[in-house]
């Protein structure tokens, strides 16, 4: 890579975004395999595949919380480290890296104990029924031991991408995903381990990715290196990272709260089949969300570095290019889902009843996903600019202020089919949230550009 310390501020934005975003989008698509390949195999287990799929789906809120803690540290620390790189302050950037690494180890230890002690109670609270709880507990008992691998892989890999090593970040994910795809059928069907085999394949795969990430960050090719002297946690270093990462944490962890709300309402109005359909819907939503997050991760180092360097035109240019690319993908994906819903549903289940129910629900749930490129581009740019308050506000607005109340309001309004009314909460909330985010970003972004003008003049 040409002049590792300045290429983020000199290469043409279009070329640079392609160089950084293609690997990060690929990494997100590969990472998606972690999340859905288990469900694809489990959903096709002969005999009890539908119930097993629903049971593992109930585990998703807990898995989302584990991933959210990785995002809390990584998505907060990585942009701040890149901003300091833009300011030519590599020493502070490495302090951020070391503090975030230690924080993730501490968080991993706490999460592992919680999951091993209280997983059954949590799963019952999150929507497991008597028919599905045994599948859920079997999966989570094994998954809990891999928490540290998940934390370090997801969190520290963001620091690799933030330095501009997008291909290395992609390879981190690819290594684990390929391993998971190979091990899943071996453990699930070959060794007849069922959902336990899926969980074991996942944690072994994440362990390999974890080793790869740490070897790179301790090695000679990285710009920011993990150093022992910077691993002692200092509040003045860590707390601003946690503040900035809290918006992504809220966005991801609230998915678990929302899953509980969805699952409990759907279990009440539609039974296990409606909960099983929700597992498929959230899996398909990842096809929309993760590539958009990959685009954002590719743009984040460009925006953060040039914001730190005071280059207003490159900050503005990077955002508009991110917005255009995000909108193109989200509209294209929406069209494919609306035209071919059966293609997505068939990936996850061969049960005719569940498939028929899910096809209709999918069109409702994904009705406005075409506009989601706006939401993601604005929210990621807030984080890249270090604007923690705005980033938190848009996350809270969409999930807590809008979506959760609508999950309970919509069935009271559309009483003819209350289960489908629950699914309608998602597009209604998204429409309102995207409108709010767009207006907020318009005013906040203009303010940032004006401030950069003043600093340049001074």
Q: What single string gives the DSSP state of each residue in 329-397?
A: HHHHHHHHHHH-HHHHHHHH---HHHHHHHHHHHHHHTTTGGGHHHHHHHHHHHHHTT-HHHHHHHHHI
Distance CA 95, CA 228 (A): 10
Show Cβ contacts of residue 445 under 8 Å, excluding neighbours closer than 6 positions.
319, 381
pTM for the model stands at: 0.71
Distance CA 51, CA 128 (A): 11
Whether the CB-CB separation of 442 and 320 falls below 8 Å is answered with no
Distance CA 144, CA 114 (A): 9
Q: Report H helices in 126-194.
A: 133-143, 147-162, 166-185
Distance CA 408, CA 100 (A): 38
Q: The tokens of 437 are what? A: 């985010």
Residue corresponding to tokens 């730190």: 308
Distance CA 342, CA 346 (A): 6
Distance CA 430, CA 410 (A): 14
Whether the CB-CB separation of 52 and 136 falls below 8 Å is answered with no
Distance CA 289, CA 369 (A): 9
Distance CA 124, CA 58 (A): 9
Show Cβ contacts of residue 443 under 8 Å, excluding neighbours closer than 6 positions.
none
Distance CA 140, CA 128 (A): 13
- End-to-end, the C-alpha distance of the chain in Å comes to 33
Q: What is the pLDDT of residue 186?
A: 94
Distance CA 178, CA 175 (A): 6
How many angstroms from the chain centroid is the CA of residue 185? 25
Question: Which of 288-317 are b and which e, b meaning 16 or more Cβ less than 10 Å from the residue's Cβ?
Answer: bbbbbbbbbbbbbbbbbbbbbbebbebbbb
DSSP 126: T
Q: pLDDT below 70 — which residues of the chain?
A: 1-6, 31, 33-35, 455-458
Whether the CB-CB separation of 284 and 364 falls below 8 Å is answered with no
Question: Using CA of residue 111, residue 150, residue 259, residue 134, what is the dihedral sign?
Answer: negative
Whether the CB-CB separation of 37 and 56 falls below 8 Å is answered with no
Show Cβ contacts of residue 410 under 8 Å, excluding neighbours closer than 6 positions.
421, 422, 424, 425, 428
Q: Which of 366, 379, 297 lies closest to 337 in space, CA to CA?
A: 366
Q: The tokens of 451 are what? A: 């401030």
Q: Report H helices in 44-89.
A: 49-86
With vertex at residue 346, the alpha carbon angle to CA 63 and CA 403, rounded to the nearest 5 degrees, is 45
Q: The tokens of 172 are what? A: 């981190």
Distance CA 153, CA 59 (A): 20
**pLDDT, tens digit, for every residue of 136-157?**
999 999 999 999 999 999 999 9
Q: What is the pLDDT of residue 335?
A: 96
State the DSSP H helix or E strand holding residue 193, giving kind and residue range, or none if neither. Answer: none
């Amino acid at each position: 890579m040409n002049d590792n310390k300045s290429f983020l501020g000199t290469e043409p934005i279009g070329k640079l975004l392609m160089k950084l975003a293609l690997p990060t989008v690929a990494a997100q698509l590969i990472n998606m395999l972690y999340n859905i390949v288990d469900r694809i195999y489990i959903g096709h287990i002969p005999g009890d595949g539908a119930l097993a799929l629903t049971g593992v789906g109930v585990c998703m809120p807990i898995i989302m919380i584990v991933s959210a803690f990785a995002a809390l540290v990584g998505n907060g620390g990585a942009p701040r480290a890149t901003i300091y790189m833009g300011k030519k302050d590599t020493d502070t950037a490495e302090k951020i890296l070391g503090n975030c690494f230690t924080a993730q180890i501490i968080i991993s230890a706490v999460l592992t104990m919680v999951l091993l002690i209280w997983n059954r109670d949590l799963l019952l609270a999150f929507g497991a029924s008597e028919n599905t709880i045994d599948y859920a507990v079997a999966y989570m008992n094994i998954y809990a031991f891999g928490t540290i691998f998940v934390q370090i892989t997801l969190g520290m890999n963001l620091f690799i991408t933030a330095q501009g090593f997008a291909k290395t970040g992609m390879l981190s994910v690819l290594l684990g995903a390929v391993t998971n795809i190979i091990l899943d059928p071996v453990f699930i069907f070959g060794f007849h381990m069922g959902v336990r085999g899926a969980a074991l394949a996942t944690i072994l795969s994440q362990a390999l990715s974890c080793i790869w990430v740490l070897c790179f960050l301790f090695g000679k090719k990285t710009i920011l290196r993990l150093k022992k002297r910077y691993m002692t946690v200092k509040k003045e270093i860590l707390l601003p990272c946690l503040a900035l990462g809290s918006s992504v944490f809220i966005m991801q962890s609230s998915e678990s709260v929302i899953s509980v709300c969805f699952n409990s309402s759907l279990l009440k109005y539609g039974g296990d089949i409606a909960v099983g359909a929700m597992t498929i819907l959230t899996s398909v939503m990842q096809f929309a969300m993760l590539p958009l997050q990959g685009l954002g991760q590719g743009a984040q180092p460009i925006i953060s570095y040039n914001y730190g360097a005071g280059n207003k035109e490159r900050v503005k240019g990077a955002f508009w290019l991110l917005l255009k690319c995000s909108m193109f993908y989200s509209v294209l994906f929406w069209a494919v889902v609306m035209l071919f819903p059966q293609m997505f549903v068939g990936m996850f289940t061969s049960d005719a009843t569940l498939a028929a129910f899910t096809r209709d629900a999918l069109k409702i749930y994904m009705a406005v996903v075409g506009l989601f490129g706006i939401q993601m581009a604005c929210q990621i740019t807030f984080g890249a600019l270090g604007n923690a308050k705005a980033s938190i506000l848009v996350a809270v607005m969409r999930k807590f202020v809008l979506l959760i109340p609508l999950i309970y309001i919509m069935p009271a309004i559309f009483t003819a089919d209350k289960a489908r009314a629950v699914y309608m909460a998602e597009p209604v909330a998204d429409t309102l949230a995207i409108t709010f985010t767009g207006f907020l970003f318009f005013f906040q972004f203009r303010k940032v550009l004006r401030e950069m003008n003043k600093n340049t003049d001074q």
